[in-house]
Structure 1
Amino acid sequence: MNILVAIIAIVAIVLLITGGVSSSLSFLIWVGVVLLVIALIVFLLRFITGRKV
């Protein structure tokens, strides 16, 4: 699960950069933001509860 969170975070950052560089692909910014928020929520749940989610 830890690897999955890292992959989601990396994909989110790549989509944010790609969406920022190309104005025609601005929807990628929103996809990146959503993926980053999901990765952050999963990380915080794991950190706060101390168990694997």
Structure 2
Amino acid sequence: SNNWEIIRVGADIKIKCMGCGRIIMMPRSKFEKVAKKIVRNSQGDNNDSVDI
């Protein structure tokens, strides 16, 4: 799946695959290069989704 849930944001970004559930961390600079689209969640929680 190309959809990932953003779990943690800091110097590193922690994201979770919406398809298989895999969790990875990557440097913020690399994340900013590979992220294609950020989809804001319409509900009250702070987790957003990103297409990579």
Fold-level match, TM-score > 0.5?
Answer: no
* Pairwise TM-score range, normalised by the shorter structure: under 0.3
Going by fraction, where is helix more abundant, 1 or 2?
1
Choose 1 or 2 for highest CA Rg.
1
Going by fraction, where is strand more abundant, 1 or 2?
2
With the length of structure 2 as denominator, give the TM-score of the two structures: 0.26
